[in-house]
Amino acid sequence: MSKTKSEVTHHVLVPTHEKISDKEKQDLLKRYNITIKELPMILNKDPAIESLMLKDGDVVKIARASRTAGETIFYRRVINA
Amino acid sequence: MAEEKEPTAVVSEEQLDAESKEKTSDEKKIPTFDRDYHEPAVTKRIAAISFGLLSPKMIKQMAVCKVVTPELYDKEGYPVDGGLMDTRMGVIDPGLTCKTDGKRLKDTPGYFGHIELARPIIHVKFVDVVLTMLRCACRECGRVLIPDNKVQKIAKELDRIEQEEGLERRREAIKDIVINLKTTSKCPHCKAKQQKITIEKPTTFLESEKRISPIEIRTRLEKLPDQDLVLFGLHSHIRPEWMILTVLPIPPVTMRPSITLESGERSEDDLTHKLGDIVAPEIIIEDLWDLLQYHITTFFDNNIAQLPPARHRSGQPLKTLTERIKSKEGRIRHNLAGKRTNFCARTVISPDPLIRINEVGLPKLIAMKLTVPEVITAWNMKYLKTFVENGPAKYPGANYIIRPDGKKKKITDETKEASLEELQPGYVVERHLLDGDVALVNRQPSLHRMSMMCHRIRVLPYKTLRLNPAVCHPYNADFDGDEMNLHVPQTEEARAEAETLMEVQTQLISPRYGLSVIGCIQDAISGAYLATTSLTFTREESIDLLSAANIEDYSQLPDKEKITGKELFSCIFPKDFDFTGKSKKGEPVRIQKGKLIEGTLDAANLGAGSGMLLRGLHRKYGADETLTILGNLFNLGNEILVKYGFSTSLSDTDLPQKAQDLIQEALDQAEKDVTQLIDDFHNNTLEILPGRTAAETLELRILEVLNKARNKSGEFATQYADQNTNLVVMINSGAKGKPLNLAQMAACVGQQAMRGKRIEKGYFDRTLTCFKKGDLSPLARGFIRNGFKHGLNPKEFFFGAMTGRDSLMDTALRTPKSGYLYRRLANAMQDLRVEYDETVRDSSGKIIQFQYGEDGIDVSKSEKGMLNVQRLIDSV
């Protein structure tokens, strides 16, 4: 990352993104009875996960602040740009 | 592939028709009424659609006759054989039969004919394709101007592009290839020199300035080998020379019917006229070739830029094939996409608080035009016969009877007797609408599901649709000339669906915010407010009011001579109803065991979109009961107001002298402060806000001061205004008006703003010519110091007109914009749904949300989008 670019993940409005393990991923797919294709997507070069160096098929867990529910968990699968 | 099974289904239907007909005529046995009988559905998935061209052979094959003469009818008026109205192509006269299928008018679908053209003619819609092919193919050997070894490679590349990037990209790739070929000057196959081919629009092709005849063009296209066609995006079973017409299909007579004028004269369809021109020239000389080309071109499209459109004798352009299909009035947008229905009505709406909330008042006139089909059985025959006896002109009558074979017969004074005789079980009577029938009522724009609700019909005199004013809110209707549509469901299923899914009471709770969309409005709120704050009634008055409001249970009235408004309203609630809430002022409202113990009923509890009281009733007693109670509250409120006598007058805005002085003082002070600020600004002593220029700071400070002054004068106005005037009652109850409106009338209209700033428009450095340049004082920048009652001075009035005009423009421009935005959202989200695992998914099963709304709450089952946890705990 160039020095002029600021790290977006430090910003208050950017929710925490983290990679989930393979086991968690399988559990997730089983819980919703889906294949990975049914998950929403996120680009691997998305500034919020760029530093995690994820690859196609990984799943990120996003914990967002929610107006209606306090905190809410969202999952996205990583795709290559 | 998809077509294979289809014809069998059609055939079996025909057989069925034939069978049932035979039975009726031969055995005189009436089959059971089978209007609702449907063929078992055949479902198929379409794998592909392939578009192609009609070959001359194909055209001749599908033609049932050859047209040889432009004549239409002989001396007796019968269609001429071999003419344009040949009966083999279908019939349009009653009495004649089609020679192809032996069917009569309306039964025969019509068949194509054909004519042999004396010379080949270029099809206008394909000139572009023909041009590229002429340019890209060798003029000698006919091969495409690409070396043999490359043809295969390019074809493969095209297939790959289609596979990976879709058909759209393939088309673009073909376009690129064609553009490159245009400049090739030597054939890579036979080494022949290529010449430049140009086009003189619309249909003349030139090769090095010399004209190429359609015959020459056709022979060149014939030479193009099949394997090269892929490069132009054509399938190999299509031949390019078919784009040059040698045979022209003649559309069936049934799609170009003539009309008989009042004078008995026949007026032919535009297409027939055009075809007459095409068939006419028997012997072709070279001059007439171009004429034939013109006629056929305009037959396909009469709006070619370079051609004068073919006209009627009256000078009006003919409507030929293309005009029939395209544009707003064309077949697609007007007939296919334009959804229209029978059994519907539209008129102006007007209010009628005396009908129930879920009723709609229908003019008798309309009730006699719209009908409901009712099947005769042994048990209702007598009942239905009374309708037929009355006929179409006397009110509860009937307009049509339908025989079991589906034949519809109009009831007239002449046929009435015969129809009555004929009636027996299995027949259907289309009777006039009666009180209690259901109808869908709709007001555009239909932005949410409450825009179309099912109402019970109430037949009334006069000519407007009547609505209970309480349903104005969901429809967003008022009575300043609004019109609404009404539809009458025609089958038992449709009626059941309308009743259970769409009736007004089922729509009470809005899925948007979980509160009642229907509530008391205006007078009803004022009435309830007055009664529950200050009014008392004698026993007689109370009974009067209750009965006027259609409440017949007086047992809840306390045994006293003086009855308070609270006690009166307590008669409406169920005996076991408990409720605690807050009034508009924030004071508690308590209902215990159906008795209003304390608090006032106002817009916060009775109003549409805010009524927590109504939400509570709905939760406990269900939709039907809530609607009845709401109707009672509404009626009682209205009746009380009628009895009380309620109007507002100019004197309602009067303020005591003290208040007027205070307001003037506040405004004077504000003006002084502003002058001080301006002076500071000019002397450079103004304290500048961070991140602003001096001028910006000044503007902000001035706005602040003036707003404060207006608010202050508004406060004085509401504070000192007589709390017992009807105007203040309306404001306090929330029925109509805000404190701001009172302040604007009584005290000061305030600053007029455009784009969030004081008015700056007009002349250089000033708003009006009566001000000095650079005048920043409140009065020169649109501050209206006077109130509406006092009256505005000319400058103030002008500023008021400026912002008035501006906001008018703004709404006029914003409505379509936000409407389109909403439409796009609605279309994008229309088939998202919540699955059983609480995820929101689209039609392909992709997850959109893991929990609906992130909290999984069904808003229509919530209270204002939230769960009342305290009450849930209490109830356990």
**Segment B380-396, tens digit of pLDDT:** 999 999 999 998 988 89
The alpha-carbon gap from B159 to the nearest alpha carbon of chain A, in Å, equals 25
Contact yes or no for B184/B194 (Cβ under 8 A):
yes
| Burial class for B853, CB neighbours closer than 10 Å (0-12, 13-18, 19+) | middle
Given B841, B847, B854, which is nearest A69 (Cβ)? B854
Tell me, what DSSP letter sits at residue B779?
A: G
Phi-psi region of B446 (alpha: psi -120 to 50; beta: other; left: phi over 0): beta
Beta-strand ranges (E) seen in B452-542 are 452-460, 465-467, 483-487, 536-538
- Phi-psi sector, B30: left (phi>0), alpha (psi -120 to 50), beta: beta
Out of A38, A72, A74, name the one closest to residue B846 (CB).
A38
Asked whether the beta carbons of residue A68 and residue B855 sit closer than 8 angstroms, the reply is yes
Higher pLDDT: B51 or B8? It is: B51
Provide the pLDDT for residue B8: 36
Report pLDDT for B482: 95
Residue B841 in contact with partner chain A when CB distance is under 8 A: yes
Q: Could you tell me the pTM of the whole model?
A: 0.72
Among candidate residues B143, B119, B128, B146, the one with its CA nearest the CA of residue B223: B143
For chain B, give the percent of residues with pLDDT over 90. 23
Question: What are the φ and ψ backbone dihedral angles of B348, each rounded to 5 degrees?
Answer: -70, 145
Instruction: Flag whether pLDDT at B362 surpasses 90.
Output: yes
Tokens (6 digits) for B861: 């089952």
Measured between CA atoms, the residue of chain B closest to residue A68 is B855
The residue to which tokens 């269609």 are assigned: B79
Please tell me which residue, A3 or B263, carries the higher pLDDT value. Answer: B263
Chain A residues within an 8 Å CB radius of B867: none
Q: Does B855 touch chain A (CB under 8 A)?
A: yes
Split into its structural domains, chain A has a count of 1
Interface residues on A facing B, Cβ-Cβ cutoff 8 A: 31-34, 37-40, 66, 68-69, 72-75
- Asked if residues B164 and B155 have their Cβ atoms less than 8 Å apart, the reply is no
- How many Cα neighbours within 13 Å face the side chain of A7? 6
Compare CB distances from B854 to A31, A34, A68 and report the shortest one's residue. A68
> B523-644 is classed in which CATH architecture?
Orthogonal Bundle (1.10)
pLDDT of residue B17: 43
B437 neighbors B386 (Cβ within 8 angstroms)? no
Measured CA to CA, the distance from residue A74 to residue B546 in angstroms comes to 56
Please tell me the predicted confidence (pLDDT) of residue A3.
53
Find the range with the poorest average confidence among B15-19, B135-139, B747-751, B848-852: B15-19
Both tokens assigned to B81: 């054989």
**A8 assigned to some structural domain:** no
Q: Is B839 on the interface with A (CB under 8 A)?
A: yes
Distance separating alpha carbons of residues B301 and B205, to the nearest angstrom: 19
Q: What is the pLDDT of residues B685-724, one digit of tens each?
A: 878 888 888 888 888 888 888 888 888 888 888 888 888 8
Which of chain B's residues have a Cβ under 8 Å away from the Cβ of A74?
850
Q: Do B837 and A37 touch (CB under 8 A)?
A: no
Cβ count near B660 (within 10 Å): 19
Q: Which of B466, B374, B477 is nearest to B429 (CA)?
A: B374
Percent of chain B with pLDDT over 70: 95
pLDDT at B37: 63
Query: Are the beta carbons of A72 and B854 separated by less than 8 Å?
Result: yes
Per-residue model confidence (pLDDT) at position B346? 95
Instruction: Please list the helix, strand and coil fractions of chain A in percent, rounded to the nearest 5, in that order.
Output: 25, 30, 45
Chain A residues with CB-CB distance to B862 below 8 A: none
pLDDT in tens, B640-680: 999 899 999 888 888 888 888 888 888 888 888 888 888 88
Which segments of B391-538 does DSSP mark as H helices, in order? Answer: 416-422, 472-475, 492-497, 523-533
Note whether residue A5 is domain-resident: no
More confident residue, B255 or B162: B255
Q: Identify whether the C-beta of residue A56 lies closer than 8 Å to the C-beta of residue A79.
A: yes
Contacts of A72 in chain B (CB under 8 A): 850-851, 854-855
- Cα dihedral B284, B290, B296, B297, rounded to 10, equals 170
| CA gap B637, B554 in Å, rounded | 17
Query: Are residues A69 and B851, on separate chains, in Cβ contact within 8 Å?
Result: yes
ipTM at complex level: 0.90
Residue A49 CA, chain-centre distance (Å), reads 7
Q: Which residues constitute the domain of residue A18?
A: 14-79
Q: Give contacts of A69 with chain B, Cβ < 8 Å.
A: 851, 853-856
CATH number for A68:
3.90.940.20
Nearest-angstrom CA–CA distance, B277 and B279: 6
Residues pairing with B429 in the sheet: B374, B401
Task: Tell me the chain A residues in contact with residue B850 when contact means C-beta distances shorter than 8 Å.
Answer: 32, 72-75
Neighbours of B81 (CB within 10 A): 15
- Measured in Å, how far apart are chain B's first and last C-alpha atoms? 63
What's the CATH code, domain B344-500? Answer: 2.40.40.20
H-only helix segments in B549-611: 565-570, 603-606
In which band, very low, low, confident or very high, does the pLDDT at B368 lie, cut at 50, 70 and 90?
A: very high
Residues B130-163 have pLDDT tens digits of 888 888 888 888 888 887 777 778 878 888 887 7
Query: Does A38 contact B855 at a Cβ distance shorter than 8 Å?
Result: no
Q: Considering the domain delimited by B653-809, tell me its CATH architecture.
A: Orthogonal Bundle (1.10)
What sign does the CA torsion over B380, B385, B388, B390 have?
negative
Go through B445-476 and write b for each residue having 16 or more CB atoms within 10 A of its CB, e for each that does not.
Answer: eeebebbbbbbbbbbbeeebbbbbbbbbbbbe
pLDDT value at position B104? 82
Amino acid at A76: R
Determine, yes or no, domain membership for A46.
yes
Q: Alpha-carbon distance B628 to B609, whole Å?
A: 18
Question: How far is Cα B770 from Cα B798, in angstroms, rounded to an integer?
Answer: 12
Confidence category of residue B609, pLDDT binned at 50, 70, 90? confident
Average pLDDT of the segment spanning B750-770:
84
Structure tokens given for B563:
């009855």
Q: Which residue of B has its CA nearest to A30?
A: B837
- Report how far apart, in Å, the C-alpha atoms of B152 and of each of B145, B155, B480, B600 are: 13, 5, 72, 87
CB pairs under 8 A between A and B: 37
Report the residue of chain B nearest A67, measured CA to CA: B854
Contact B416, B389 (CB under 8 A): yes
**CB neighbours of residue A61 within 10 Å:** 17
Facing A75 at nearest CB: one of B837, B850, B855? B850
Q: Measured between CB atoms, does B854 come within 8 Å of chain A?
A: yes
Contact B518, B631 (CB under 8 A): no
Q: Is the pLDDT of residue B92 over 70?
A: yes
* Predicted local confidence at residue B26, as pLDDT: 44
Determine, for residues A39 and B851 on separate chains, whether the beta-carbon distance falls below 8 Å: no
A6 in any annotated domain = no
